[in-house]
Amino acid sequence: MGKRVAVVGTGQTHHRSKRPDVSIPELVREAVDRALENAHADLGAVDAIVIGNMEHFEGIHLSDLWPAEEAGLWGKPGFKVATGGTTGSSLAIAAYYTVASGLYDRVLAVGWEKLSESAGETTTGIVTAFDPIYERPTLAGAVSGLAVMATAYQYRHSIPPGQAALATVYARANAMRNPHAHLRKPVTVEDVLASPMLSTPIRLLDMCPTSDGACAVLFASEEAVGRFPGPPAWISGVHSCHNHTYLGDLCGDTPVFLDTLTTAAKEAYRQAGIADPRNQIDVVEIYGPCSWACLEWAESLGFCGLGEGGKFFASGAPAFEGDIPWSPSGGVISTNPIGATGLIRVAEAAIQVRGEGGDRQVPGVRTALATGFGGSYWSEVMILAREK
């Protein structure tokens, strides 16, 4: 059995569509400084660093070396993680295992993206990741791939678009409470349904933005937690699962798209001793890049039955005042600096467990769940708890 591990510090930038006031290294340093300040520590308290982003999006080769000094890598051991859209959550998992293994006691995970400097590489990078004969001609970045999933899901379960729109409505309302969020303007179901169609059934307001931003999270072993005065958020379950399938495989009777998140969640629940996630988890931070994905993934995580994701959102349960608040930070629908996004989910889950959420704090959080999502249907789950 590995060492017990906790989050002892989190920091993130104010996420925006463009941050022309800072370079990439300076953007990263903002998040690192805030994480260290939150942990009441300095770089001397960090043993090693895990860093990563979607490195081809900004067109920078060896992107981990570009902000190395500002991330604190100078003179310290470190390594890069780059797993596509899941990079942020993979950073958290890599940092967790590096500490749990006993290799280091205090590891800083750093993720970032400056998509305003991508010059078109974002769509190109996603499109060229798929089969060049059967899939690439139908793709237009992430939107069309998500639209295939959403179309199949809507057809299979007869989901009204207004139910999916509620995921955006809740997200934007929550983002109003979060000073770090990118999109902080409330919307209604009518606003979502009247917004331009991107790829059926996904409309403009169903989809997440592209953001500039960075996040840093400090993980510490049980032996080292005492050096940090703030309350720890203990990692009680973690799992990663991925596969690869043709997009057409999503359209059959078997919901292939659900498999990786369902598998990852079941294993993380087993580790954390969770038998009834709807009643044992207090808050969730989900990597939901569009409203339709949020509905389907509520089912994958066991919060409702198959085909009941729309009814789950219509019930008000995922609202901030509901019985299982969904992304009180505003989530990915409000903020998406891709290389940092999954790490932000872990940071926000830790913030809730540590009681540091301010206006976005859900009362009485003892257990929080964070997920990551990326290409090849890669899903990751991390569960954080107040108790060791």
Q: Considering the domain boundaries, does residue 342 fall inside one?
A: yes
Confidence of residue 312 (pLDDT cuts 50, 70, 90): very high
Q: With 60 as the cut, is the pLDDT of residue 254 above it? A: no
Q: With 60 as the cut, is the pLDDT of residue 284 above it? A: yes
Mean pLDDT of the residues in the chain: 92
Q: Check whether residue 103 and residue 184 sit in a common domain.
A: no
Q: Check whether residue 59 and residue 195 sit in a common domain.
A: no
Q: Check whether residue 110 and residue 154 sit in a common domain.
A: no
Q: Considering the domain boundaries, does residue 176 fall inside one?
A: yes
pLDDT value for 61: 82
Distance CA 111, CA 335 (A): 14
Q: Check whether residue 71 and residue 136 sit in a common domain.
A: no
Query: Residue 144, Cα to own-chain centre: how many angstroms?
Result: 20
pLDDT value for 318: 98
Q: With 80 as the cut, is the pLDDT of residue 244 above it? A: no
* Cβ neighbour number for residue 336 with a 10 Å cutoff: 25
pLDDT value for 58: 82
Residue with tokens 């998500």: 146
Q: Check whether residue 28 and residue 76 sit in a common domain.
A: yes
Residues contacting 88, CB < 8 A, separation 6+: 52, 111, 215, 338, 339, 340, 341, 342, 343, 344, 345, 346, 372
Q: Considering the domain boundaries, does residue 98 fall inside one?
A: yes
Q: Considering the domain boundaries, does residue 233 fall inside one?
A: no
Residues contacting 108, CB < 8 A, separation 6+: 32, 35, 46, 48, 49, 50, 71, 72, 95, 216, 217, 218, 219
Nearest Cα to 13, choosing from 335, 320, 286, 351?
335
Q: Check whether residue 286 and residue 185 sit in a common domain.
A: yes
Q: Considering the domain boundaries, does residue 45 fall inside one?
A: yes
Q: With 80 as the cut, is the pLDDT of residue 251 above it? A: no
pLDDT value for 341: 97
Beta carbons of 364 and 378 less than 8 angstroms apart = no
Which segments within 42-183 are labelled E, that is strand? 48-52, 78-80, 106-114
Look at residues 227, 257, 283 and tell me which one is the last residue of a structural domain.
227
User: Which has the higher per-residue pLDDT, 143 or 290?
Assistant: 290
HSE value, Cβ hemisphere, 13 Å, CA-based, for 225: 18
Q: Check whether residue 221 and residue 176 sit in a common domain.
A: no
Look at residues 227, 260, 287 and tell me which one is the last residue of a structural domain.
227
Q: Which two tokens stand for residue 41?
A: 């520590």
Beta carbons of 362 and 283 less than 8 angstroms apart = yes
Average pLDDT of the segment spanning 95-105:
98
Residue with tokens 């964070």: 370
Q: What is the β-pairing status of strands 106-114 and 212-221? A: antiparallel
Q: Check whether residue 10 and residue 44 sit in a common domain.
A: yes
CATH of the domain at 161: 3.40.47.10
Q: Considering the domain boundaries, does residue 320 fall inside one?
A: yes
Confidence of residue 98 (pLDDT cuts 50, 70, 90): very high
Most confident of 59-63, 108-112, 118-122, 250-254: 108-112
Confidence of residue 248 (pLDDT cuts 50, 70, 90): low
pLDDT value for 330: 98
Q: Which domain holds residue 280?
A: 129-206+238-385
Q: Which two tokens stand for residue 98?
A: 């590096």
Number of domains in the chain: 2
Q: Check whether residue 223 and residue 162 sit in a common domain.
A: no
Residue with tokens 């994905």: 293
Q: With 80 as the cut, is the pLDDT of residue 51 above it? A: yes
Beta carbons of 235 and 6 less than 8 angstroms apart = yes
Average pLDDT of the segment spanning 365-386:
93
pLDDT value for 120: 59
User: Distances from the Cα of 311 to the Cαs of 167, 277, 295, in angstroms?
Assistant: 11, 17, 9
Most confident of 44-53, 54-63, 76-85: 44-53
pLDDT value for 121: 63
Least confident residue range of 147-161, 241-255, 282-296: 241-255
Stated pTM of the model: 0.95
pLDDT digits (tens, 9 = 90+) for 349-362: 999 999 999 999 99
pLDDT digits (tens, 9 = 90+) for 110-164: 999 998 987 656 666 677 777 777 777 766 678 887 888 899 889 889 999 999 9
Q: Check whether residue 50 and residue 168 sit in a common domain.
A: no
Q: Check whether residue 344 and residue 276 sit in a common domain.
A: yes
Distance CA 306, CA 5 (A): 34
Q: Considering the domain boundaries, does residue 110 fall inside one?
A: yes
Q: Considering the domain boundaries, does residue 152 fall inside one?
A: yes
Q: Check whether residue 97 and residue 158 sit in a common domain.
A: no
pLDDT value for 339: 93
Q: Which two tokens stand for residue 155?
A: 């057809």
Distance CA 114, CA 157 (A): 38
Nearest Cα to 348, choosing from 364, 339, 366, 360?
360
DSSP 233: E
